[in-house]
Structure 1
Amino acid sequence: MSETTALLDRIQADPETGRAIPDAATGETIGYVPKQTADDVDAAVARAQAAQPAWDALGHEGRRAALLAAADAIDAHAEELATILSREQGKPLNGPNARFEVGACSTWLRDAATTELETEVLVDDGETYAEMSYQALGVVAAIGPWNWPMMIGMWQSAPSLRMGNTVVAKPSSSTPLSVLALIDVMNQALPADVLIPVVTNGAGGGHLAAHPDVAKVMFTGSTETGRRIAESAGGNLARLTLELGGNDAGIVLPDVDPQAIAEDLFWGAFINTGQTCAALKRLYVHEDVYDDVVDAVAAVARQVPMGNGLDEGNVLGPVQNAAQFEIVQELVEDAKARGARIVVGGEAAPELGANFFQTTIVAEVADGYRIVDEEQFGPALPIIRYSDIDEAVASANRLDVGLGGSVWSGDREKAREIAKRLRAGTVWINQHGTLHPKVPFGGVKQSGYGLEFSVAGLKSVSEPRVING
């Protein structure tokens, strides 16, 4: 813990002037962050803009070397970073949680650093020659969420830096310490002012997005906030990548083995205690296997330990903040009032600490229930019975979001045919929410636009240049 304390001491503000950040599980103060203003945002953008030409001039090889060194620094400080993240965000150290997230940061950074983006020859027919290359934009604003603050921050900053941009990163006001710690570690290997954090309230994100010297805005968060970010960026015509809310549907076909898929269904829904944009949020199960699937998933839920994230035995944690906790509780209570069956959980768990809600499986619900129609973003999964696959597909597609979806079947070809009918940016087969740095990711409908990861992600943070002749 002494190394963690040293890192916290290095990044935190004076308690007399800073804002206290609570431990998500206990409510006690972890540390303090500065109360920065619009003037601080302006100063950060100016510094990033001044540093950008030299960073770009290093070329791909020079930037690659610096970014790989930054990834090594993350690995060297992985345990301190994971401890800060676990306390601030609430996710446990073990399981697909804090240590996993820190490891993903260095993995995605290395991938962005080493992915090639070659000049494309468009025409070369003896008469006409045209090629397209990709150049740096300038300053990128990276506005991150509170659920995966380090990893999603890396998804934004790594490709931006790789392409020669500098980055001003604004973390969520709920989880700033994690991002400050990550950037502090990365900056041990990066040139000054290439990656600059700013810690402001929500209005600061709009100010950053509207800044005339910001060429690109990357935002991950709610659809409502995404609309405001788009409006702010519109005055400057800054390019946008928006990864917004989801209410991902899964469809289980009647040919499945419920016991075989139960654990994957559970983690598809409950990774990070359900606080993941592309988690499974509503599960449609054919009537022939409905009861068996409900029982199998519930059996897994009963066995998965929840509690303080620093306890090595826990793999589920609290809801990160009180506002989100109230949403989860409200949606579960609404389902109860309408006659839904609570198979597991269904109640707050104050004996575990602050903002804990029991792992909850809700059965005998239908489209129109709030817990089905609204994104719960917490540890509660509604399971809906269906009889006709066309009806299930229509139910999955009927909402105005489309981040992810999944189809579960013993017949992969049949599953793929149904997957093609789902309106979502990614549709998984017999899994949900698994991501890979080589596979582009993005939403449709009100879940946003733009792609991240791989070559597509590099192109999204650069400007194409065509040379013709």
Structure 2
Amino acid sequence: MSTSTDTSALLDAITVAPEHGRAVPDAASGETIGYVREQTAADLDRAIDRARAAQPGWAGLGHEERARLLHLAADEVDAHAEELALIIAREQGKPLNGPGARFEAGGCAVWIRSAADTVLETEVLFEAEGTRSELHYVPLGVVAAIGPWNWPALIAIWQIAPALRMGNTVVAKPSEYTPLSVLAVVELMNRHLPADVLQVVTGGREVGAAIAAHPGVDKVMFTGSTKTGREIVKGSANNLARLTLELGGNDPGIVLPGSDAKAIAEGLFWGAFINTGQTCAALKRLYVHDSVYEDVVDELSKIAASMQLGPGTSEDSQLGPLSNRQQFDIVTRLVEDARARGARIVTGGEAAPELGAHFYRATIVADIDDGAPLVDEEQFGPVVPVIRYTDVEDAITRANSSEQGLGASVWGDPVEARRVAERIDSGTVWINQHGTLNPMVAFGGVKGSGYGLEFGAHGLKAVAAPKVITI
């Protein structure tokens, strides 16, 4: 059953006539949803100039007034949450229900309000007779926000909301795969923000490459691949723009001996398969102790086989398509390589062409080991490899072997899991859960997963310049 809620008013506000733009397809059907302008580096220049001109006035409003306007923007997003969710479901492919498009649309308002309400106190660094040194946080200027295609609206808000709260203006550059979701949430916010405080530039690689080196940009926030993150670091060398880089991860999970496979199976499954596995902090490789290995594989395969696969706009879908052909091809290659190596495809392991071009069945792969590309690379799709181990020390070493370190999880007795968690090289380690995020809890990676923190007070500090005043 498909939803019938109309999105035409919001779409009309963010799209252009076919002769003036590039077609954006529905991830499930390939049908054109709308057209967006294919902007250029010259358009970026103009947007940054307008943002620089608007920034002093926006900063001058003060925290209280900026927070009030952000609350109005959040209310507007809430009022149009169903329209926004439908755009996300069509363009990106995630199902409306569960941890899907409605969850993403609602999360946008939650994160806007959190950024508006988070208290950032002045810090007294030193105080003695006749002297007091205080640490304040002041706006940087213009923040460039470069987002990915997997959670397009929500991750854009993770970048935009704290930057605006701290008095910066923002120029957002969405993925060329999912520009409509970002245009839609920005359109809703801009109904309450001053002109040019928040802008979107839609375009391809030319625009993205021009951002990091742009002399008018004071901060770049980027979520995407490690490869592109390295290029952004190089590009920022001349203008010394500050950076927050969330570069994805090949997140490990470790199931300890004695764990109850049935009790943890659902948490493991959704830790890996949220958004059809297309999540930076999803569980990407699962190390399971030999004593519970077959039980965990069996429970996961039962859940995977029961999942309803279908278009995002169907109320019945639990998993959707891969968002684009490039990602579908990556997932197919990795599973076929695992099959050729003799790995056991417990369930799934094949496309579902009867549903559309980018659909792939939920796949559990057993009897595979480190060194296989499915384990060593970030698959970013509906597949999880389950790797057997016999010694916890060995599992920790293997979990830490990746160049990436965004998230990880440990499953089992909480006391023992805590000891293991302290030894895993990741920005976040969850215990008996995976991938849960909180707008007040700092989030960021280590190693090849980037640097800088988002969310809460740490996220506000990341989009501001520290300033010491000594009296």
TM-score by length of 1: 0.99
Pick from 296, 305, 308 the counterpart of residue 311 of structure 2: 308
1:251 counterpart SS class: strand
Q: Which one-letter code corresponds to 1:69 in the other structure?
A: L
1:43 counterpart SS class: helix
Q: Shift of the alpha carbon at 1:438? A: 0.8
1:94 aligns with 2:97: yes
* 1:59-458 matches, cutoff 5 A: 59-409=62-412, 411-458=413-460
Q: Which one-letter code corresponds to 1:425 in the other structure?
A: G
**CA distance in 1: counterparts of 2:349 and 2:170, whole angstroms:** 42
**CA distance in 2: counterparts of 1:202 and 1:229, whole angstroms:** 12
**CA distance in 2: counterparts of 1:286 and 1:226, whole angstroms:** 35
**CA distance in 2: counterparts of 1:237 and 1:69, whole angstroms:** 34
- Cα deviation digits, residues 366-424 of structure 1 (max 9, x gap): 00011000110000000000000010000000111000000001x21110010000000
1:52 aligns with 2:55: yes
Native 8 Å contact 2:40 2:206 kept in 1: no
Q: Shift of the alpha carbon at 1:428? A: 0.2
2:193 counterpart SS class: coil
Q: Shift of the alpha carbon at 1:353? A: 1.1
- Cα deviation digits, residues 72-123 of structure 1 (max 9, x gap): 0000000100001100000011110100001110001000000011110111
Native 8 Å contact 2:261 2:296 kept in 1: yes
- Cα deviation digits, residues 201-255 of structure 1 (max 9, x gap): 0221121221101100000000011111111112100000000020000000012
* 1:6-25 matches, cutoff 5 A: 6-25=9-28
**CA distance in 1: counterparts of 2:67 and 2:109, whole angstroms:** 13
**CA distance in 2: counterparts of 1:360 and 1:84, whole angstroms:** 27
**CA distance in 2: counterparts of 1:257 and 1:349, whole angstroms:** 32
Q: Which one-letter code corresponds to 1:402 in the other structure?
A: G
In structure 2, runs of 5+ residues without a counterpart are: none
Task: Provide the residue aligned with 2:466 in structure 1.
Answer: 464
2:236 counterpart SS class: helix
Q: Which one-letter code corresponds to 2:64 in the other structure?
A: E
1:423 counterpart SS class: coil
Q: Which one-letter code corresponds to 2:196 in the other structure?
A: D
- Cα deviation digits, residues 129-181 of structure 1 (max 9, x gap): 10000000000000000000000000000000000000000000000011101
Aligned-residue sequence identity (percent) comes to 64
Pick from 25, 29, 32 the counterpart of residue 26 of structure 1: 29
2:367 counterpart SS class: strand
**CA distance in 2: counterparts of 1:345 and 1:300, whole angstroms:** 11
Q: Shift of the alpha carbon at 1:44? A: 0.4
**CA distance in 1: counterparts of 2:221 and 2:46, whole angstroms:** 19
Native 8 Å contact 1:205 1:229 kept in 2: no
Q: CA 1:63–1:348 in 2, change beyond 3 Å: closer, same or farther? A: same
**CA distance in 1: counterparts of 2:254 and 2:57, whole angstroms:** 51
2:284 counterpart SS class: strand
Count of residue pairs the alignment pairs up: 468
- Cα deviation digits, residues 10-34 of structure 1 (max 9, x gap): 1102201200000000001000000
Q: Shift of the alpha carbon at 1:354? A: 2.2
TM-score by length of 2: 0.98
Q: Shift of the alpha carbon at 1:2? A: 6.8
Q: Shift of the alpha carbon at 1:454? A: 0.3
Please, what is the CA RMSD of the aligned residues? 0.8
**CA distance in 1: counterparts of 2:132 and 2:81, whole angstroms:** 49
Q: Which one-letter code corresponds to 1:26 in the other structure?
A: S
**CA distance in 2: counterparts of 1:306 and 1:55, whole angstroms:** 46
Q: CA 1:238–1:253 in 2, change beyond 3 Å: closer, same or farther? A: same
2:423 counterpart SS class: coil
Q: Shift of the alpha carbon at 1:126? A: 2.1
In structure 1, runs of 5+ residues without a counterpart are: none
**CA distance in 1: counterparts of 2:230 and 2:108, whole angstroms:** 27
